[in-house]
């Protein structure tokens, strides 16, 4: 049975939504048919610029459109739970931007709604679907580096002009932890497929970054240590006042993996020229492996197929829907719930200055 072309409606018309639409335009399995904003003029401009057939002036109108199979939720973090639940009740499959939820209870509510209405919900970490991530997991699962005992993951960038940026708005779920830290936490969850028992964290709070008045309670940088059963551990760092980087080190009992875990990757030799779109001319990512105990053993580079993470993500989601693979969705959902619970515990620990047990329900 041929895989049908699924129709996507985009909820939100910000920069991430724009990148997503551009990236999936050439997919043979999905097509973006509509966008929605609470500002009709904004939706119309977005649709015209990206040559979408329909612009809608409310999110409810998008959910009422019978021509939409999948809703891509690209709204501020604080709005994810409300609109994912509404999309599930409208019996639309949902691809939701990261972080899926602000806390574990929200994530569980969202997945419960999806199950009750027979639809699929997937958190959209583009790098999760990169061939490089598949190759990294194959190395780990093969036992080539032994048992994973410690992970260090860090992601940061320099938000030089914060005026009007939702990353500096606590009411909308802003801050380094939910924005960049969710990526680092998701990488840790891949390498250690379990929930930590407790965390200890510290944050540097908003002090007027980018000319925005301080006092909103947004973290500009957060560092955390995570402790797992069996003596395993992890360290996370995220920041919005540093040079752009995405780096992770996975320490096994018999080897080491180092990786950049980029969302979008290019072929070796491609330079940082100014692209026509955010998807063109991506730099190649890095991953290298050392197998063995001796410090004289050299690292070996691992080369994976390049491509756009949004495109890989939507292709994978369309395939899961076509094959009705709810088991795979449940596995991804379990990871998303662990990530939500751990991020909430890190945030609580950073505020109180005390170690926090990670919630289990």
pLDDT in tens, the chain (361 residues): 678 999 999 999 999 999 999 999 999 999 999 999 999 999 999 999 999 999 999 999 999 999 999 999 999 999 999 999 999 999 999 999 999 999 999 999 999 999 999 999 999 999 999 999 999 999 999 999 999 999 999 999 998 776 678 888 888 888 999 999 999 999 999 999 999 999 999 999 866 665 555 545 689 999 999 999 999 999 999 999 999 999 999 999 999 999 999 999 998 765 544 434 444 568 888 999 999 988 899 999 999 999 999 999 999 999 999 999 999 999 999 999 999 999 999 999 999 999 999 987 6
Q: What is the pLDDT of residue 279?
A: 43
Nearest-CA neighbor of 94 among 115, 102, 76, 104? Answer: 115
Q: 274 an active-site residue?
A: no
Q: Is the Cβ–Cβ distance between 74 and 11 less than 8 Å?
A: yes
Q: What is the pLDDT of residue 278?
A: 42
Q: What is the pLDDT of residue 170?
A: 82
CA distance 203 to 239: 9
Q: Is the Cβ–Cβ distance between 86 and 96 less than 8 Å?
A: no
pTM flag (> 0.85):
yes
Longest CA–CA span in the chain (Å) reads 62
Strands 93-97 and 70-73: parallel
Task: Return the ∠ at Cα 323 (arms to 130 and 3), rounded to 5°.
Answer: 85
CA 39 to each of CA 1, 82, 86, 104, 157: distance values in angstroms, whole numbers, following the listed order: 40, 19, 19, 31, 30
The position carrying tokens 């920069």 is 15
Q: Is the Cβ–Cβ distance between 248 and 261 less than 8 Å?
A: yes
Length of the chain: 361
Query: Residue 261 contacts by C-beta under 8 Å, 6 or more apart in sequence?
Result: 127, 130, 132, 133, 136, 183, 187, 246, 248, 285
Q: Could you tell me the two tokens for 187?
A: 């990488």
Say whether 188 sits in a helix, a strand or coil: helix
**Secondary structure (DSSP) of 74-106:** -S-GGGHHHHHHHHHHTT-EEEEESS--SSHHH
Catalytic residue chosen out of the listed positions 89, 98, 274, 324: 98
Q: Is 14 exposed, middle or buried (0-12, 13-18, 19+ CB in 10 A)?
A: middle
């Amino acid at each position: 049975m041929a895989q049908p072309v699924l129709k996507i409606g985009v909820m939100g018309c910000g920069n991430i939504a724009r990148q997503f639409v551009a990236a999936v335009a050439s997919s043979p399995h999905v097509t973006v048919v509509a966008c929605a904003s609470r500002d009709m003029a904004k939706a119309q401009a977005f649709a015209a610029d990206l040559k979408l057939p329909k612009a809608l002036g409310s999110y409810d109108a998008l959910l009422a459109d019978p021509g939409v199979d999948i809703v891509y939720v690209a709204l501020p973090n604080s709005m994810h739970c409300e609109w994912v639940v509404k999309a599930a009740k409208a019996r639309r499959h949902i691809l939701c931007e990261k972080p899926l939820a602000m806390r574990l209870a929200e994530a569980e509510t969202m997945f419960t709604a999806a199950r009750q209405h027979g639809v699929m919900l997937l958190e959209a970490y583009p790098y999760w679907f990169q061939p490089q991530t598949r190759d990294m997991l194959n190395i780990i699962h093969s036992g080539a580096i032994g048992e994973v005992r410690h992970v260090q993951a860090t992601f940061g960038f320099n938000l030089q002009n914060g005026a009007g940026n939702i990353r500096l708005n606590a009411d909308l779920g802003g801050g380094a932890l939910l924005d960049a830290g969710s990526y680092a936490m998701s990488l840790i969850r891949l390498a250690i497929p379990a929930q930590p028992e407790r965390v200890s964290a510290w944050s540097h709070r908003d002090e007027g970054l980018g000319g925005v008045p301080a006092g909103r309670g947004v973290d500009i940088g957060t560092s955390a240590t995570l402790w797992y059963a069996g003596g395993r551990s992890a360290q996370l760092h995220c920041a919005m006042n540093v040079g752009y980087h995405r780096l992770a080190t996975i320490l096994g009992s018999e080897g080491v993996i180092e990786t950049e875990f980029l969302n979008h990757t290019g072929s070796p030799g491609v330079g940082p020229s100014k692209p026509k779109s955010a998807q063109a001319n991506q730099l190649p990512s890095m991953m290298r492996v050392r197998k063995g105990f001796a410090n004289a053993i050299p690292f070996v580079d691992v080369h994976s197929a390049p491509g756009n993470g949004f495109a890989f993500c939507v292709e994978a989601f369309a395939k899961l829907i076509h094959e009705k693979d709810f088991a795979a969705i449940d596995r991804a959902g379990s990871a998303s719930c662990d990530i939500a619970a751990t991020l909430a515990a890190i945030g609580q620990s950073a505020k109180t200055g005390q170690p926090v047990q990670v919630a289990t329900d």
